[in-house]
Chains A and B, each alone.
Chain A
Amino acid sequence: MSKIGVFICHCGHNIAGTVDVEAVAEALRRVPGVALATTYKYCCSEPGQKLIRDSIQEQGLDGVVVAACSPAMHETTFRRAVASAGLNPYLCECANIRELCSWVHQGDPEQATAKAIAIVQTIVEKVKRDEPLEMLKLPITRRALVIGGGIAGLQTALDIADAGYPVLLVERSQRLGGKMAELSGTYLNFEAASDLLAQKIEAVTHHPRIEVLTEAEVVEVSGYVGNFNVRVGRLGTDKLVNWEGQAPSTNLPMYQSTELAVGAIVVATGYDRYPLSALPEYGAGQIADVIDTLAFEGMLATGGEIRRPSDGKVPREVVFVQCAGSRDPEHGVPYCSKICCMVVAKQATMYARRVAGGQAYVFYMDIRSAGRGYEEYVDEAMQKHGVLYVRGKVSRLFPADSKVMVWGVDTLSGRPIEVAADLVVLATPMVPSAGTAELAQRLRAATDADGFFAEAHPKLRPVESLTAGIYLAGAAQGPKDIPEAIAQASGAAAKVLSLFSHEEMTQDPLVAYVIEELCSACGTCVEVCPYQARSIHPVRNVAIVNAALCQNCGACVVACPNKASQVFNWKPEQFLAMVDAIF
């Protein structure tokens, strides 16, 4: 007979406010094999964990069920507590009576309590049949791959290499530096974007532990955290001259392709500008003197005079249009590109400083200058440099003589506004860099609704992807400016350094296995496994599982015609017993 301890958590009001936890404990005490059923206000708190540890030791429990929040929250906490009391951690399971019960049945305590009892009963039956398992140990290749050589990629590579590990930096264009190399200056330092960047590039190219491959791309990725195999293709130079906007293709001729084992991959592929041609309502792409901020950045960068594209004249009136395509689900992208309010303030200021007597206008919806010193910066653009900020949308843009007429409404005064501009600069959206979707697929990393790489958790795991061993740096994860990109790039490096600080890594043993006597090597599981974890052993001729790749999805279990495929601690008899417990 098992001796299972059931700990029912109040979670303050979260559970106990709806579920009658005492009734649940009472009901569970009557279940055969349950030696103890008790409630506690916060099981995850220190005294809560202590209660579990003490009960294991005092009552000699051989299984533990914590009826509380989702296992995604505290399974690790409770398993660790159980292990420290000397019980195998895999004999502890969480019964989710919060997300699956109290939170969704708030108005109905009676039914919620009945449901909670049922949920806990099923888990008790599962635990009765759980086997003790040991952590899997896997080797780690302590070398990192960084994809993308913008400021984010450079910073990550430096941080990892300085800490002593070799790095391969793969950049698909001909040079390092990414967009920062196209900038005139930074917000706070008008002249020195290139100097700041040059320092980093210099450090990277001369680093004994960094190997840089330009005009190269990652074409294939296999393996798993700690043990990836990547194939990097170096493309013919001629194929890359017009790289911009062209989708990468693995079919391009390669004159060299290298296979390399790496333990961690950092994605730092940055962003791209939004195609001007996609904003016809601003005359973009048709009117020569309507350009985007990156193009204006190029004019400022030359250091010389600012001249407009059509006739080379110095523009006297320049109109900047913020959110041109951003925050506009109908015509552009729904999100805010985050940096352009500041970029425009910088460009308008630089323009005002360079062109005496020139007038800059900025059309905006909200000025998003939230950042250290940023508010003051925009104030200075207005007050010191006479930049005229107009709150409103541009309604029409059309060429008239040699000018570009800009019609808009000042939403503050309610009056229509008309500016005859010499040059119009559109703050167009930042979009994921070309080829992001394909790369994401190759890496088996997820992207978000806007096409940027998705972080593992929007609050607490901002530099990790959902795929173990793949980390995110810079604008590849979403629009950000240089300081934020750099901080996050170092953050990604920290994750790699943490991983590499161990000789080997441990992995949850909850994976699929094959009962070899039953396996007919039909290969069905190999086909269905979405994570390429299954193969047929060439000699023994049975299906085998690469435990490091298996994500415990169960597809193989269902597919196997011989019932030879199972998942540890999710065996069919466990499911049946769980169902029997409540029906």
Chain B
Amino acid sequence: MRRALVVGAGIAGIQVALDIANSGYEVVLVERLPSIGGHMAQLSETFPTLDCSQCILTPRTVEVGHHPNIKLMTYSEVISVESVDGESGKLGHREAGEQVTNLPIYQSTNLPEFRVRIRRKAAYVDWNLCTGCGACQEKCPTKVISEFERGMGQRKAIYVVSPQAVPNKPVIDAEHCLYLTSKQGNSTTGVALHPADIEAGRVSAVGKPRRPRCGLCARVCPTGAIAFDQEDALFEERVNAIVLATGYDLLSPTRLPEYGGGRLPDVIDGLAFERLLSASGPTAGKIRRPSDGAEPKEVVFVQCSGSRDPERGVPYCSKICCMYTAKHAMLYKHHVPDGHAYVFYIDVRAGGKGYEEFVNRAAEEAGVVYLRGKVSKIVPQDGRLVVWGADTLSGQRVEIAADLVVLATAVLPAAGSERLAAMLGLASDGSGFYVPANAEIRPVESHVPGVFLAGAGLGPRDIPETVAQASGAAAKVLKLFAAARREGDEESEGNTEVME
């Protein structure tokens, strides 16, 4: 039986898994969050067609959830990989970061085999019993700042990531659950995604005063699924190919001190703005600024925040932010027609089907004001934010008093990708993104036989590019499996018809 491991279940991993599974092979899909979808699940509408992101994503997540060939392991992480066969046996000896160039195109018909250890975090809920009824989440008294809502909304200590989550089974956040913290003697101070939120005083556990042994969820659960004694579980899977689809993270605003360093509540990043735009977001799709819930009338968008800036951020261009900023500014104007949107840019990078036209629509039809220049500083003043910038076209200094500032922060490789790369002996180029075997003609293969790459883990990219490329990675796996099937000891399955 040929099987593939796909690490990361954003749209890239989902696409890879579906393409392989639909071809009749088994896929183990590992995702570290409790549910799948990745960043796409957080987006409101997508450029350039303004399709609702959830709406086009859920058919895929649902398909993954039901697919007989996909073994979905969420809330799980790969902890080690060992090569079993001789061919990729070198794997263990390769130094992380060692450059291997010009390896021959993979030709071996020996199917690689990997032994993969996977740790599933304790969810404290027995998912086999849980029906996803939601009663526990309703009753849980502990509210926690939601990572999914980028710190702008709340969830309970027992939670599912989003209403349409697949799988729709809750996990208990052991750091905040009253029962578990009292049991383990943990403290209940709030820990959220951004240390900046804590500094800004936006984060604290809002729950009732600490009370030992709450256990409410266990009491209301109709199926007795709550399992406070659940522990992390270790699994071992044998697979013949690995696809890394671990995606990206955004640069933390704390790294941008001149833009408030994450201390100004009304300076938010692009994903936070997506949540504000989203009908299922913390403001139910109304544009409200975090500090006081007012509707912002002057909004400044700052492109290249930390990108193209080797001194303070990253040297590369994050590729997607010009487009999503145009989308943000346009959608903002749709929501708040009497508001003003300003975009600071260096170059507008709109290379893609319909992209140029989309940006033109933002500027011409929606009336978004594009200013070519850099923002030097953002300072709070009388409840507003003063944005200091330069318009390099007129050569003049610009000062805008804004109600909300949205930073298009740099795209970074997902935390932990370097560890995975090192584990597999992949080459590294210092950026932390995965390095393909040949950037130009082998864009989805790694240097290691049997290991393939997909999605934003290879560098920033938008959804269409991610999806096309993810299918590309799937093709490499299918090719490997099919070749092995042909040469292998199994019967030829009658699909090697020779052309007359």
Which A residues fall within an 8 A CB radius of B?
12-14, 17, 41-42, 44-47, 49-50, 69, 73-74, 76-77, 80, 142-143, 151, 159, 162-166, 168, 186-189, 196, 199-200, 203, 208-209, 211, 327, 334-339, 341, 366-376, 379, 411-414, 448, 450, 452, 455, 457-463, 477-479, 482-484, 486-495, 497-498, 500-502
Alpha-carbon separation in the docked complex, A486 to B316 (Å): 22
**Are A166 and B444 in touch, CB under 8 angstroms?**
no
Most buried by B among A44, A186, A379, A414: A44
With a CB–CB cut-off of 8 A, which chain B residues contact A339? 351
**Are A375 and B478 in touch, CB under 8 angstroms?**
no
Does B146 sit within 8 A of A, measured CB to CB?
A: no
Partner of B443, one of A168, A327, A487: A487
Partner of B322, one of A12, A143, A370: A370
**Are B440 and A13 in touch, CB under 8 angstroms?**
no
With a CB–CB cut-off of 8 A, which chain A residues contact B459? 371-372
With a CB–CB cut-off of 8 A, which chain B residues contact A50? 131-132
Alpha-carbon separation in the docked complex, A143 to B495 (Å): 9
Partner of B499, one of A143, A367, A373, A413: A143
Partner of B56, one of A13, A334, A373, A457: A457
Partner of A165, one of B352, B464, B495: B495
**Are A494 and B474 in touch, CB under 8 angstroms?**
yes
Does B191 sit within 8 A of A, measured CB to CB?
A: no
**Are B395 and A69 in touch, CB under 8 angstroms?**
no
Alpha-carbon separation in the docked complex, A77 to B62 (Å): 7
Does B433 sit within 8 A of A, measured CB to CB?
A: yes
**Are A164 and B279 in touch, CB under 8 angstroms?**
no
With a CB–CB cut-off of 8 A, which chain A residues contact B474? 491, 494
**Are B132 and A489 in touch, CB under 8 angstroms?**
no
**Are A187 and B353 in touch, CB under 8 angstroms?**
no
Within 8 A of A (CB), among B174-211: none
Of all chain A residues, the one with the shortest Cβ separation from B315 is: A376
**Are B440 and A186 in touch, CB under 8 angstroms?**
yes
Task: Count B-side interface residues using an 8 Å CB cutoff.
Answer: 90
Partner of B475, one of A77, A327, A414, A491: A491
24 contacts between A and B (CB under 8 A): A13-B280, A41-B163, A45-B166, A47-B131, A77-B63, A142-B497, A143-B499, A163-B479, A164-B486, A188-B440, A335-B355, A335-B356, A368-B347, A368-B350, A373-B439, A374-B316, A379-B315, A459-B56, A461-B467, A462-B465, A491-B468, A491-B475, A494-B19, A497-B23
**Are B354 and A458 in touch, CB under 8 angstroms?**
yes
Most buried by A among B65, B440, B476: B440
Partner of A143, one of B443, B444, B497: B497
Partner of A459, one of B49, B59, B318: B49
Of all chain B residues, the one with the shortest Cβ separation from A98 is: B55
Closest CB pairs A-B (n = 6): A491-B471, A490-B472, A338-B351, A494-B475, A163-B482, A366-B347
**Are A12 and B280 in touch, CB under 8 angstroms?**
yes
**Are B495 and A375 in touch, CB under 8 angstroms?**
no
Alpha-carbon separation in the docked complex, A501 to B465 (Å): 25
Partner of A13, one of B166, B279, B317: B279
Alpha-carbon separation in the docked complex, A375 to B321 (Å): 14
**Are B349 and A162 in touch, CB under 8 angstroms?**
no
**Are A73 and B59 in touch, CB under 8 angstroms?**
yes
Question: Given that A334-B356, A490-B471, A491-B470 are known contacts, is A47 also in contact with B439, CB under 8 Å in the complex?
Answer: no
Question: Would you give the shortest CB distance from A99 to chain B, in whole angstroms?
Answer: 10
With a CB–CB cut-off of 8 A, which chain A residues contact B105? 199, 203
Alpha-carbon separation in the docked complex, A351 to B467 (Å): 36
**Are B498 and A74 in touch, CB under 8 angstroms?**
no
**Are B132 and A462 in touch, CB under 8 angstroms?**
no
**Are B347 and A483 in touch, CB under 8 angstroms?**
no
With a CB–CB cut-off of 8 A, which chain A residues contact B377? none
Alpha-carbon separation in the docked complex, A27 to B103 (Å): 68
Number of inter-chain CB pairs below 8 Å = 258
**Are A159 and B498 in touch, CB under 8 angstroms?**
no
**Are A163 and B471 in touch, CB under 8 angstroms?**
no
Besides A164-B486, A372-B316, 10 other CB < 8 A contacts?
A: A47-B132, A77-B62, A166-B497, A448-B353, A483-B439, A483-B440, A491-B468, A494-B19, A494-B478, A497-B482
**Are A497 and B478 in touch, CB under 8 angstroms?**
yes
Does B129 sit within 8 A of A, measured CB to CB?
A: no
**Are A483 and B443 in touch, CB under 8 angstroms?**
yes
**Are B55 and A73 in touch, CB under 8 angstroms?**
yes
Does B319 sit within 8 A of A, measured CB to CB?
A: yes
Of all chain B residues, the one with the shortest Cβ separation from A46 is: B168
With a CB–CB cut-off of 8 A, which chain B residues contact A448? 353
Question: Would you give the shortest CB distance from A13 to chain B, in whole angstroms?
Answer: 5
**Are A44 and B284 in touch, CB under 8 angstroms?**
no
Question: Would you give the shortest CB distance from A446 to chain B, in whole angstroms?
Answer: 13
Does B458 sit within 8 A of A, measured CB to CB?
A: yes
**Are A165 and B497 in touch, CB under 8 angstroms?**
yes
Contact mask for chain B residues 310-351; partner A; CB cutoff 8 A; 1 contact, 0 none: 000001111100100000000000000000000000011111
Does B400 sit within 8 A of A, measured CB to CB?
A: no
Does B422 sit within 8 A of A, measured CB to CB?
A: no
**Are A372 and B356 in touch, CB under 8 angstroms?**
no
**Are A459 and B168 in touch, CB under 8 angstroms?**
no
Alpha-carbon separation in the docked complex, A334 to B357 (Å): 7
With a CB–CB cut-off of 8 A, which chain A residues contact B56? 73, 457, 459-460
Alpha-carbon separation in the docked complex, A459 to B45 (Å): 11
Alpha-carbon separation in the docked complex, A461 to B353 (Å): 14
With a CB–CB cut-off of 8 A, which chain A residues contact B472? 486-491, 493-494
With a CB–CB cut-off of 8 A, which chain B residues contact A455? 464
With a CB–CB cut-off of 8 A, which chain A residues contact B308? 375
**Are B279 and A12 in touch, CB under 8 angstroms?**
yes
**Are B440 and A196 in touch, CB under 8 angstroms?**
yes
Question: Would you give the shortest CB distance from A45 to chain B, in whole angstroms?
Answer: 5
Of all chain B residues, the one with the shortest Cβ separation from A342 is: B351
Question: Given that A46-B132, A370-B322, A375-B317 are known contacts, is A12 also in contact with B163, CB under 8 Å in the complex?
Answer: yes
**Are A211 and B499 in touch, CB under 8 angstroms?**
yes
Does B115 sit within 8 A of A, measured CB to CB?
A: no
With a CB–CB cut-off of 8 A, which chain A residues contact B433? 372
With a CB–CB cut-off of 8 A, which chain A residues contact B279? 12-14, 17
Question: Would you give the shortest CB distance from A305 to chain B, in whole angstroms?
Answer: 26
With a CB–CB cut-off of 8 A, which chain B residues contact A489? 472
Most buried by A among B356, B470, B497: B356
**Are A69 and B55 in touch, CB under 8 angstroms?**
yes
Does B134 sit within 8 A of A, measured CB to CB?
A: yes
With a CB–CB cut-off of 8 A, which chain A residues contact B347? 366-368
Alpha-carbon separation in the docked complex, A311 to B281 (Å): 66
Alpha-carbon separation in the docked complex, A493 to B474 (Å): 9
Question: Given that A50-B132, A335-B356 are known contacts, is A42 also in contact with B163, CB under 8 Å in the complex?
Answer: yes
Of all chain B residues, the one with the shortest Cβ separation from A459 is: B463
With a CB–CB cut-off of 8 A, which chain B residues contact A13? 279-280, 284-285
**Are A487 and B469 in touch, CB under 8 angstroms?**
yes
Within 8 A of A (CB), among B197-245: none
**Are A163 and B469 in touch, CB under 8 angstroms?**
no
With a CB–CB cut-off of 8 A, which chain A residues contact B473? 490
Partner of B441, one of A162, A200, A366, A370: A200
With a CB–CB cut-off of 8 A, which chain A residues contact B438? 196
Alpha-carbon separation in the docked complex, A168 to B499 (Å): 9
Of all chain B residues, the one with the shortest Cβ separation from A165 is: B495
Question: Would you give the shortest CB distance from A485 to chain B, in whole angstroms?
Answer: 10
Does B367 sit within 8 A of A, measured CB to CB?
A: no
**Are A366 and B483 in touch, CB under 8 angstroms?**
no
**Are B348 and A366 in touch, CB under 8 angstroms?**
yes
Alpha-carbon separation in the docked complex, A335 to B322 (Å): 16
Does B165 sit within 8 A of A, measured CB to CB?
A: yes
With a CB–CB cut-off of 8 A, which chain B residues contact A45? 132, 163-166, 168
Alpha-carbon separation in the docked complex, A50 to B168 (Å): 11
With a CB–CB cut-off of 8 A, which chain A residues contact B168? 45-47
**Are A142 and B316 in touch, CB under 8 angstroms?**
no
Most buried by A among B60, B441, B444: B441
**Are B315 and A487 in touch, CB under 8 angstroms?**
no
Question: Would you give the shortest CB distance from A331 to chain B, in whole angstroms?
Answer: 15
Does B254 sit within 8 A of A, measured CB to CB?
A: no
